[in-house]
Amino acid sequence: MKNTPLYQQHVHAGGKLVEFGGWQLPIHYGSLVDEHLAVRSAAGVFDVSHMTIVDFSGPDAKDYLRRVLCNDVATLNEPGTAMYSCMLNQQGGIIDDLIVYFIEDNSYRMVVNAATREKDLAWFSNQSANFDVQITEQPDLAMIAVQGPEAIAIASELLPKALEQSAVELGRFQSVWNNQWFVATTGYTGEAGYEIALPADDAPAFWESLLKAGVKACGLGARDTLRLEAGMNLYGTDMTEKDTPLSSGLAWTVAWQPEDRNFIGRGALTEQRAAGVSHKLVGYVLEGKGVLRSGQLLFKGEEEIGIITSGTFSPTLKQSVAFARVKSEFAADCEVQIRKNRLPVRCVSRVFVRNGQPAPAVV
Amino acid sequence: MNVPEDLRYTQSHEWVRLEDDGTVVIGITDHAQEQLGDLVFVETPEIDSEVESEAAVAVVESVKAASDIYAPVAGSIIDANADLADEPELVNTDPYGKGWLYKMNPTDATEIEQLFDAESYKGFVSEQA
Q: What is the full DSSP assignment across B105-127?
A: EES-GGGGGGSB-HHHHHHHHHH
Task: Tell me the shortest Cα–Cα distance from A218 to chain B, in angstroms.
Answer: 14
pLDDT in tens, A174-212: 999 999 999 999 999 999 999 999 999 999 999 999 999
Q: What angle do CA B97, B102, B107 make, to 5 degrees?
A: 125
pLDDT band at A354 (very low <50, low <70, confident <90, very high): confident
Q: Do A313 and B41 touch (CB under 8 A)?
A: yes
Q: Which residue of A has its CA nearest to B58?
A: A339
Identify which of A27, A221, A291 has the shortest CB distance to residue B66.
A291
Of A196, A198, A173, A179, residue with least CA distance to A99: A173
Domain boundaries, chain B: 13-122
Helix (H) or strand (E) holding B79: strand B75-80
At A362, the pLDDT band (50, 70, 90 cuts) reads: confident
What is d(CA B44, CA B83) in angstroms, rounded to the nearest whole number? 10
**What is the per-residue pLDDT across A271-312, written as a single tens digit (0 to 9) for each?**
999 999 999 999 999 999 999 999 999 999 999 999 999 999
Quick one: pLDDT at residue A361?
Answer: 75
A293–chain B Cβ distance below 8 A for any pair: yes
Across the interface, whether the CB atoms of B63 and A33 are under 8 A apart is answered: yes
The set of residues, in sequence order, having a beta carbon less than 8 Å from that of A340 and lying 6+ positions away, is: none
A318-334 average pLDDT score: 96
Q: Rounded mean pLDDT of A169-174?
A: 97
Tell me the three-class secondary structure of A123-185, residue by residue.
Answer: HHHHHCCCCCCEEEECCCEEEEEEECCCHHHHHHCCCCHHHHHHHHCCCCCEEEEECCEEEEC
Sign of CA dihedral A219, A224, A230, A232: positive
Residue B97 makes CB contacts below 8 A (sequence gap 6+) with none
- Nearest by CB to A293, from B37, B43, B66: name it: B66
Q: How far apart are CA A120 and CA A105, in angstroms?
A: 23
Closest partner residue to B37 among A28, A293, A339, by Cβ? A28
As a whole number of angstroms, the distance between CA B46 and CA B5 comes to: 29
Nearest to B9 by CA among B127, B122, B128, B129: B122
Cα–Cα distance, A291 to B62 (Å, whole number): 9
- Say whether residue A312 is in contact with chain B using an 8 A CB cutoff: yes
Query: Mind listing the pLDDT tens digit for each residue in A240-279?
Result: 999 999 999 999 999 999 999 999 999 999 999 999 999 9
**R_g over Cα of chain B:** 13
Is A313 close to B40, i.e. CB distance below 8 A?
A: yes
**Using a CB-CB distance cutoff of 8 angstroms, which residues of chain B are in contact with residue A312?**
63-64
- Cβ within 8 Å, pair B66-A28: no
Residues of B with Cβ-Cβ distance to A290 under 8 angstroms: 41, 43, 61
A315 touches chain B (CB under 8 A): yes
Q: Does the pLDDT at position A331 exceed 70?
A: yes
Would you call A33 and B41 a contact, using CB atoms and an 8 Å cutoff?
A: no
CATH class (in words) of the domain with range B13-122: mainly beta
* Regions of chain B short of the pLDDT cut 50: none
Residue A363: pLDDT band with limits 50, 70, 90: low
A28 touches chain B (CB under 8 A): yes
Helix, strand, or coil (residue B93): helix
Measured in residues, chain B has a length of: 129
Per-residue pLDDT at A51 exceeds 80: yes
Question: What local confidence, expressed as pLDDT, does residue A162 receive?
Answer: 96
- Tens-place pLDDT, residues A98-132: 999 999 999 999 999 999 999 999 999 999 999 99
What per-residue confidence (pLDDT) applies to B129?
A: 74
A354 vs A250: CA distance, rounded Å:
18
Amino acid code (one letter) for B30: D
- How far apart are alpha carbons B28 and B100 in whole angstroms? 8
Confidence (pLDDT) at A53: 98
Would an 8 Å CB–CB cutoff place A27 in contact with chain B? yes
Share of chain A above pLDDT 90, in %: 97
Residue pairs between chains A and B whose CB atoms are closer than 8 Å: 37
Distance CA B95, CA A353 (A): 32
